[in-house]
Structure 1
Amino acid sequence: MKNLVIVESPAKARTISKFLGSDYTVMASMGHVRDLPKSKLGFDPEDNFKPQYMVSRDKSKVIADLKKQIKKDTVIYLAADEDREGEAIAWHLIPALKIEKNPLKRIVFHEITEKAILEALANPRDVDQNLVDAQQARRILDRAVGYKLSPLIWKKVRYGLSAGRVQSVAVRILVDREKEIEAFIPVEFWKVKTEFNTPEFKADLAKIDNKIAKINNEAEAKIIEDSCNKGQYILEDIEEKESKRNPAPPFTTSTLQQEASRKAGFGVKQTMIVAQQLYEGSVTIPGHTGGLITYMRTDSVNLSSFATSAAKEVITSEYGNQYALAKPRHYKSKAKGAQEAHEAIRPVNLALKPSDVKPYLDHSQYRLYSLIWKRTIATQMAQAVVANTTYKISAGANKEYEFQSKGTRIVFAGFMKAYTEGSDDPEAALDNTEKILPTISKGTVLNLEKLITEQNFTKPPARYSEAALVKKMEAEGIGRPSTYAPTIATIQAREYVIKTEDKKLQPTLIGTVVNDFLVEHFENIVSLGFTAYVEEEFDKIADGEMAWEDVMKEFYEPFVKNVDDKTENAPRAKFSDIRELGEHPELKKPITARVGQYGPYVQCGTKEDEEKPKIASIPKTISVNNITLEESLVLLQLPKVLGQDENGNDIKVNIGRFGPYLQIKSEYFSLKEDDPYTVELPRALEVIKELKEIKAKALLKDFPEEETQILIGRYGPYIKSKKKNYKLPKELDEQDIKALNWDEVKEIIKNQPVKGRRGAAAKKAPAKKATTAKKKTTAVKKTPAKKATTAAKKPAVKKTTTATKKETK
């Protein structure tokens, strides 16, 4: 094959292949093909943090398929996404495919259209080592935090938990908000409202004696009511002001996630999945080939001159000249660390209106495309002009009260003709709607229909939605467009956070415990300021202003020292949060929900009782934050006695570490298909009989005094002795095994091969080979050397064209 284009996804490969001739094959790498090994640290702190990359197990077939298409003279186009992660994917493909000597070309594009792809092919560049290093720094620093902190969390909190640099900060934001909510003390206040008839409209008390109205209690409200009933309501003044409104900027990753949440109810992950589909062009639309939107991971609010010109044409034809701008409107990002080099998210062809593509998109794709199209068009439309009218009404025995009624009239819709931005505050959303006041002359005495006094209480701060958390992270400079969705998905998958019925994020008890432990002992790691500072250092690496190894040196040694100290000296985390659920109807003891070292559970009774408290684990399907008294009573049924077997032994049912089971004395029988809460004695006896028969068939030899059996397992016969398993020599058949005596079995156990020796030896040999291969690997040219100090330590890097003789040497 003459030319091979390697992209990240099959959908993108299918779309791009439509633009290229038979001389090109387009294939997908399916994302990263190499990564740090999962089983160890994965980099060498003693050797300048040198990473130990390996081809991911699930990518071996991908690599093999790609290699089949590569000959010595195949020109390879590395066409991964245009961001740091994409740059790293392209860079990893070179050693993974052993294509250092092939002609290599790195191509990038911001949209998947024929014009953009052909332009990219005509203008290849080198892999940008600075961008690669920025991604490496993030990956290795995150591995250091996760690999070193997680075992400490296992030891001090609970086994199986994890910590992460960005995920832990995201959890901290949510825990801090939850603590604000818990500490919030509602403050009483009152509102006084009026309803008038002939004409009908409403007004609210705004001022008392020309000062902003503050009504603290019912007594104060009653005084106002009494005074108002003694006087007249007179329209004293009409105030009219015109104001201009500007459209919101074009979409970035963050603002798209927020708006899709407000207007379409999408989660952050769903937004990115649908946006990816629109970007890759995984839809068929007559007359259009390629993607529908530009690249969806960006923090830029820039629009190209091509886009602003196209928008002006659409606006003029759809809405008229008065809605178009004489000069394009430009925006500047307010987000910390925003990269302004790329474009905002926009349709690739603004002439494709949402109505044109609706028949060919699914509901989610249409909703998102429609949002992006309308927002982009609105950014290049004229300002809206809004007239705000305020009626000021005097009331009270001495005219000491001023009621106000506010109306809004749209004088010129401008951009609002196409689009208005949503709001997280339902009341603020009303600001964009018209509210017309009736025509009344100044000095008119108004006819009161109803006077209302209304008690209210201040509300605690709201929990974050997924989109609101993204907004907070962006404002604080935490993470980047490519990390928002994975971070939020991770903290939910780890069960540190749950989503409430109203789609808000609430930290779980275990999430709070882990957070409090990290805040107490690793405050800098979960500090918003530190996390933002690290992101800035990644940006400096990407700009060639800093070596990634220097970032690791600055961070790693003090961090590891702190971990070692806390491993020795930090006390175990405290699980003090207890939810009281109510009282057991029969035992008359309190039932509580708690989180302990081994997970969430419910407890009936307290340790002060004469009898030991009864406890039951809470299954993953039920949240410890939301479990009810009724649900806890079901869980506390276990363990329970179902009846007796033929020998008069109790048959108990319970749930253990490996799931539900039946128990007779010291014998256990797994309940795989039956509900432990509803299973009855006849079914339990059936299960026990079935499992005993299976067990009998599997037993070849029994040495009860030695607590040893020879069993037939999934992979053949084996020895089970005191809860440990041992292999049998392969040459023994079933008759030989049945003839073994205890001395012979003991000898087999004694002469077992050392576990893993062969595997370890096998792994050591290729390791040297891999090191040698790495030295030969030609990488990619750096941009000019602000990083001269570290450049010498790195392997020689080749341009994406043919390697020079010097490099080959």
Structure 2
Amino acid sequence: MATAKKKTAARKTTAKTAAKKATRARKTASKIVEDEAPSEPGSTSLVIVESPAKAKTIGKYLGRAYKVRATIGHVRDLPEKKMGIDIENGFEPDYVTIPGKEKTVAELKSAARDSREIFLATDPDREGEAIAWHVAQQIKTKNGARIRRVLFHEITKDAVQSAIAAAGEIDTNKVDAQQARRVLDRLVGYKASPVLWKTVKKGISAGRVQTVALRLLVEREREIRAFKPVEYWTVEAQLEKNGQQFTAKLHQVDGKKPVISNEAQASAILDDLKGRKTFEVTEVKRRERRKNPYPPFTTSTLQQEAAKKLGFGSKRTMRLAQDLYEGIEIGEEGAVGLITYMRTDSTRVSPSAVEEARDWVKMMYGQEFLPDAPRLYGSANSSNAQDAHEAIRPTDPKRRPDHVRKYLKEDQLKLYELIWQRFMASQMAPAVFDTTTVDFDLGRYQFRATGSVVKFLGYQKLYKEAREEGEGKALEDEQGLPVVEVGEAVPVKSITPSQHFTEPPPRFSEASLVKELERLGIGRPSTYASIVTTLVDRRYALLEQRRFFPTALGEQVEKVMVKAFPDVFNVQFTSHMETDLDKIEEG
């Protein structure tokens, strides 16, 4: 107990110290730039974003009074060749301009000198906030143009103009959280990597979060290797009524779940049932079941569904989503952002988008496909949901996939269609199923047939969720049953025993790994794709037939890291650290 308290205290101290050093670094940086010579603001406004594609779309909406420039990612970071953290002085980071970004920084400074106001419009998340802060430290001067922060949750004309009008200040809590994470990652890397160089191989490295994800893969592989399959048998009867065949499974023997361990036991049951031409129906249960649509996508659920439905890796999904968010040339309309910001853990949707979707559903499918009230989804259950964000949805629900087909590349269209269908379906009526259970009591043995038929398609007229191996059957995949009544004798076509063996847990797919990372609280919407990609890029795991296999190198790295740093590379510590970073962000 005392050890656990010490660990918690140490963890909080680390996060708090990292946050304090970020504040001190901000003050130091502010001091430096304010000592520069004053400049005369010009007549245009400067908007700074991260990517040239985003700059192009936004520039079109804002017109000539605005210059839009791109940072092309981060401009400042910890140095490459040394730790860059002053551990003796409150973990203060020593930021340097990233090699190759000197020209970008110089151009931004020059553009800032000629501007009457400056808007930092980098992405609306932690990384974007940190980029905005770093840029501000580089470009602001005494008596220079005022610098404000703008958040574009979607890139459409109205959204861009509204965001500019509602410009605020840089969120220093978000900056602190990003810097605390960066410092933690660097400290862990500098501590862990030399151990790997000595024991495994020169030049390899261990990430704070990636190594925990690797641990999940390796532990699953060990479970699979240690697994001893156990033989078991099932017995099924093939029945038929009015030409419709259906299956009933042996459900109970002497009132208990059947345990049939070998062929001899299965054969004994078949001998007992020999000569039966019919099964008598002893009970029929019918009930109506409703299946509600899933909420619109978060980053995690988009990556999972794109992996299952489209076969896209997390990295590919996020790259395509970024294209759709930043803007696509749509004929005469020009560049327009087709989806809202793609890094989010919120399922919240704006009421205006909901109304547009409901109008479309009513027009396309009729009143019966529309629920009585709008479905207003809240945040994801996780306490880390940033509710300023919405779910991932089309910026204009009326812009159907077939309307934009000719302007999109094949993969972009597939992803847009997935996002559009999922969002529109989220505003539709539930699917309704008639489920039936038929029992046949034959003395010692009870057989049961279960079936389900669609009574009303509801949202499934537009969208059905994908399922992976090991995820069980969906209601809509159940067999259909003929109408039978109690006392009726149903003809038996055959009774068949089948041999099976228990199976080990499946290896993680990209979809199931992202789902598990989210469940355990490891990583955040902005990091799932990089966690997954890094494991493969570093050759710690291979992705074969869409499943992860840890390599010998990966297993070695995991073994050494967990042995050397058991308290750092474990799920609880990593999850708690993420929570502590969230607390810093919340202030």
Return the letter of the residue paired with 1:165: R
Aligned to 1:261, which of 307, 311, 318?
307
How many angstroms does 1:300 deviate by? 0.5
Q: In the alignment, what sits opposite 2:229? A: 186
Give me the whole-angstrom Cα distance separating, in 1, the residues matched to 2:562 and 2:191.
Answer: 16
**Match of 2:180?**
137
Of residues 279, 288, 299, the one that matches 1:242 is 288
Contact preservation (8 Å) 1:17, 1:26: yes
Q: 1:459 pairs with 466, 487, 503, which one?
A: 503
Structure 2 residue 463 is the aligned partner of structure 1 residue 416: no
Cα distance between partner residues in 2 of 1:69 and 1:511: 47
2:120 is the counterpart of 1:78:
yes
Q: Which amino acid in the other structure matches residue 201 of structure 1?
A: F
**Pairwise mapping of residues 263-412 of structure 1 onto structure 2 (< 5 A)?**
263-287=309-333, 289-329=335-375, 330-335=377-382, 337-395=384-442, 399-412=443-456
Q: Work out whether 1:537 is the aligned partner of 2:585.
A: no
* Inter-partner Cα distance in structure 2 for 1:43 and 1:97: 24
- The equivalent of 2:260 in structure 1 is 215
Deviation by residue 1:418-470 (Cα, 9 ceiling, x = unmatched): 22222223673543246322234433323322221110001100011112111
User: Which residue of the partner structure matches residue 10 of structure 2?
Assistant: none
Alignment map for 1:460-479 (pairs within 5 Å): 460-479=504-523
Paired position in structure 1 for 2:17: none
Paired residues, number: 540
- Rounded to whole Å, the distance in 2 between the matches of 1:513 and 1:78 is 44
Query: What do residues 668-721 of structure 1 show as CA deviations (whole Å, max 9, x unaligned)?
Result: xxxxxxxxxxxxxxxxxxxxxxxxxxxxxxxxxxxxxxxxxxxxxxxxxxxxxx
| 1:287, distance to aligned residue in structure 2 (A) | 4.2
Local SS of the residue matching 1:57: coil
Match of 1:169 among 207, 212, 225: 212
Contact 1:33–1:96 (Cα < 8 Å) also in 2: no
Provide the rounded CA distance (Å) in 1 between the counterparts of 2:451 and 2:308. 25
Of the three residues 552, 566, 571, the one matched with 1:509 is 552
SS in 2 for 1:258: helix
Which position in structure 2 is the counterpart of 1:195? 238
Counterpart-to-counterpart distance in 2, 1:434 and 1:355: 32
Choose which of 10, 14, 17 in structure 1 pairs with 2:59: 17
Letter in structure 2 aligned against 1:21: G
- TM-score if structure 1 supplies the norm length? 0.65
Is the CA contact (8 Å cut-off) linking 2:120 and 2:147 kept in structure 1?
yes
Distance 2:207 2:554 in 1: 13
Distance 2:363 2:140 in 1: 54
Q: Which moved more, 1:187-196 or 1:266-275?
A: 187-196
Maintained 8 Å contact 1:190/1:455: yes
Q: Deviations over 1:142-161 (max 9, x none)?
A: 00111121012111222112
Aligned partner of 1:107 in structure 2 is: 150
User: How do 1:422-433 residues align onto structure 2 when only pairs under 5 Å count?
Assistant: 422-425=466-469, 428-433=472-477
Does 1:495 find its partner at 2:539? yes
CA contact (8 A) 1:336 1:477 kept: no
Q: Which moved more, 1:277-286 or 1:530-539?
A: 277-286
Q: Tell me the alpha carbon deviations over residues 525-576 of structure 1, each in whole angstroms, 9 at most, x when there is no partner.
A: 11101001111111111111xxxxxxxxxxxxxxxxxxxxxxxxxxxxxxxx
C-alpha separation between the residues in 2 aligned to 1:321 and 1:119?
34
Show structure 1 runs of 5+ residues with no match: 545-809
Contact 1:88 1:131 in 2 (8 A): yes
Residue from 433, 447, 463 that aligns with 2:491: 447
String of CA shifts for 1:364-399, please: whole Å, max 9, x gaps: 11111111111111222222221101222244xxx3
Q: Give the Cα–Cα distance (whole angstroms) in 2 for the partners of residues 144 and 137 of structure 1.
A: 11
| Alignment check: 8 A CA contact 1:34 1:96 kept | no
Q: TM-score w.r.t. structure 2 length? A: 0.89
Work out whether residues 453 and 476 of structure 2, in 8 Å CA contact, stay in contact via their aligned partners in 1: no
Deviates more, 1:421-430 or 1:17-26: 421-430
Q: Radius of gyration: which is bigger?
A: 1
Q: What's the counterpart of residue 567 of structure 2?
A: 524
2:526 to 450, 460, 482: 482
Helix, strand or coil for the counterpart of 1:523?
coil
1:288 Cα offset (Å) = 6.7
Paired with 2:464 and 2:551, the residues of 1 have a C-alpha distance of: 36
Q: 2: distance between equivalents of 1:288 and 1:458? A: 57
Q: Which amino acid aligns with 1:121?
A: I
Q: How far apart, in 1, do the equivalents of 2:86 and 2:509 lie?
A: 40
Of 66, 71, 74, the residue aligned with 1:29 is 71
* Shift in Å, 1:213: 2.2
C-alpha distance in 2 between matches for 1:417 and 1:252? 22
Q: Indicate conservation of the 8 Å contact 1:336/1:475, yes or no.
A: no
Cα RMSD over matched residues? 1.8
Identity %: 45
Q: In the alignment, residue 323 of structure 1 is paired with which amino acid?
A: F
